[in-house]
Copies of this chain bind each other. A is one copy, B any other.
Amino acid sequence: MFESPLFWPAHIKGNTLYVLDETLVPSKIKYIPVRNVKGALAVIRDMKTRAFGQFLVVLNAFLLELGHKGDLLAYVQKVAEQLNDSRPTFPFAEVTGIIVGVAHKAKANGADVRTAVTKTVEGFLAGIRGRRLERVRQIAESMKDGDRILTHCNVSGELAMAASLALAQGKKIKFYATETRPYMQGAKLTIWELTQAKAQVILVADNAAGALMAEGMVNKVIIGSDRSAANGDIANKIGSYQIAVLAKEFNIPLIVLTQPSKGVAEGEDMPIEQRSGMEVIQYERKRLFPAGVVGFYPGFDVVPHQYITKAIAIHAGL
């Protein structure tokens, strides 16, 4: 099976974390060397990596300066706080809380904090990798021969790998990927990944989803999610909500890849990150529209669980 670089976009080697610069994919496959927590916070804040990549960065960030002398527990707590504050929509606190807990317990028991944290992070990573591969198999299973699948934004490797698996199983599938303005993750990442996986994929503007569904050109929607609430609501890239409403209107099943958590009760409790309106005004750092134009860019929206036909869940190793 094809493995996308987006499936595992950050890996540690020696004292350096190599983070795939997803903003350059597919033009360049370049890894940013991250040597300390400050660098980890920067790649998160600048959205050099997204969703699952950010989760990998958060976990690995704890390992970067563990050579640190002094109070390692206090250090781990500080790292956790900084990571939690880096992006409001993401539930980093859940996983950083566990690492802090491990450090606490190690210190209380007189064990080595460094070893405890390292083992925990490494164990998490190995477990997550296995569960993600298992989910790829489940996604492939949900793909049927003859499917015309719409997807939005990018689901970090798994969709393309599932497509590759489904193709190997002899299923004929056509994909439609939305551009996903303003960052164009669909047009750049999803199209590239699915093409690499030898799948048939067609790019459409974000405003074509309704027409595709009305014309019967799409019979299934598969999207990822950045966050889940306990009641099944999910937060995902802006545009997911409207695709969900359209899918319901046209009786098309909506499959969401989720990372369930009990951190928040329902979607309304999830803070939505308001990105700068300038991000709609410019593209690849070049201004598209004249000065004076005011943009508004909520980065995410929340899809209420009523719209979700099926969640294919993965637990983030908790």
Chain A positions within 8 Å of B, measured between CB atoms, are: 26-27, 152, 176, 178-182, 184, 187-188, 191-192, 195, 201-211, 214-215, 237-239, 241-243, 245-246, 249, 277, 280-281, 288-290, 292-298, 301-302
* Beta-carbon contact of B211 and A298 below 8 Å: yes
Decide if the interface of chain A is mainly helix, strand, loop or mixed. Answer: mixed
Q: Are B239 and A246 in contact (CB under 8 A)?
A: no
B residues within 8 A CB of A211?
238-239, 241-242, 298, 301
Stoichiometry, as copies per complex, reads 2
Contact A202 B245 (CB under 8 A): no
Cβ of A288 and Cβ of B187 under 8 Å apart? yes
Nearest CB in chain B to that of A281: its residue: B203
Q: Which of B180, B184, B214, B242 contacts A246 (CB 8 A)?
A: B242
Q: A28: shortest Cβ distance to chain B, in Å?
A: 12
Given contacts A191-B293, A209-B242, A211-B238, 16 further A-B contacts (CB under 8 A): A26-B290, A181-B181, A182-B205, A187-B288, A192-B290, A203-B277, A203-B281, A205-B206, A205-B239, A206-B239, A208-B297, A208-B298, A210-B241, A211-B298, A214-B301, A245-B245
- Cα separation A184 to B288 with both chains bound (whole Å): 10
CB pair A210–B245 under 8 Å, yes or no, is yes
